Amino acid sequence: MLLLQVSDPHFGTERPQVVQALRRLAEAQRPQVLLLSGDISQRGSDTQFDAARRFVDSLRIPAMLTVPGNHDIPLLNPLARWLRPYAAYQRRFGDELEPVLDLPELLAIGVNTTRPRRHKDGEVSAEQVRRVAQRLRHAKPQQLRVVVTHQPVHVVRPRDEHNLLHGAGAAVRAWTEAGADLVLGGHIHFPSVGLLADRYPGLPRRAWGVQAGTAVSWRIRFEAGNSVNLLHYDAAALQCRVERWDYRDAADAFELARSEELPLQRDAA
């Protein structure tokens, strides 16, 4: 099974040639699932969500899971931000802010980690931790178990530490114990893959934190351009290969930049 993680496209700041290149990548690779990990728009406007939705539909990927990012809450309209922060997002991406995808080889669970009052920072509540863990415990043995947040639970650079999700420690412990294989995030526009036990010692199972860069926005970091992740899941081998595909100007295409095999772990029955 092949999954495409697209994060932080920030429609409104998209680079048209990169959008086209991403469409070509999806056509060539034909992923079965699209995971969209937030900051879909730049300002949370209807126009930007319209453009994002048109783009997502044009990819013709059969299944999709999205979660909002802090940029998907209107920034410039305080009343909307206060009263109906997710209205524009929900008009284009559905009412459910925490969707679940339950497919034969995939259980993907979305968590809304945005908090209008926290501005940029994200948070996971005790109730969200409990709900996700409960769902994970009902996963089928052959399913890849993925939790999707916007703000990261794992970062690799000291300067990104302040962007870690509030409550991440308790969440990672509970979700890993309940069977999570991967926790996917975005927000910092810097791709990485890390063993969660390296940050959270003593986890009962092996699980991985997978971050995607910004897919198509010009809001890139100088050390990281536009990128997306492709996740190849082999249920029989219990392996997940995470490939990072970078957009390269010279080729005007997304090209394979890095590939990592992530061994997964199922507890003995």
Q: Which residues bind Fe ion (CB under 5 A)?
A: 8, 39, 69-70, 187
**Starting at the edge strand that comes first in sequence, how are the strands of the sheet with 227-234 ordered?**
63-66, 33-36, 2-6, 227-234, 239-248, 253-263
User: Nearer to Fe ion by C-beta: 70 or 227?
Assistant: 70
Closest approach of Fe ion to the CB of residue 193, in Å: 19
User: Nearer to Fe ion by C-beta: 105 or 123?
Assistant: 123
Spatial neighbors of 181 by CB under 8 A, at least 6 apart, are 144, 145, 146, 207, 208, 240, 262, 264, 265
Closest approach of Fe ion to the CB of residue 118, in Å: 12
Which tokens hold the place of 147?
Answer: 């939790």
Query: Do residues 190 and 213 make contact, with C-beta atoms less than 8 angstroms apart?
Result: yes
Spatial neighbors of 257 by CB under 8 A, at least 6 apart, are 227, 244, 245, 246
Distances (CA, A) of 73 to 54, 55, 81, 150: 19, 20, 6, 13
Closest approach of Fe ion to the CB of residue 116, in Å: 13
User: Nearer to Fe ion by C-beta: 175 or 190?
Assistant: 190
Closest approach of Fe ion to the CB of residue 174, in Å: 23
Query: Facing residues of 162 across strands?
Result: none
What is the Cα Rg of the chain in Å?
17
CA distance linking residue 238 with residue 268, whole number of Å: 13
117 secondary structure, DSSP code: G
User: Nearer to Fe ion by C-beta: 106 or 188?
Assistant: 188
User: Nearer to Fe ion by C-beta: 14 or 39?
Assistant: 39
User: Nearer to Fe ion by C-beta: 233 or 247?
Assistant: 247
Distances (CA, A) of 53 to 41, 92, 169: 10, 6, 33
User: Nearer to Fe ion by C-beta: 128 or 217?
Assistant: 217
Closest approach of Fe ion to the CB of residue 241, in Å: 25
Closest approach of Fe ion to the CB of residue 114, in Å: 8
Closest approach of Fe ion to the CB of residue 154, in Å: 15
Which tokens hold the place of 129?
Answer: 């931790």
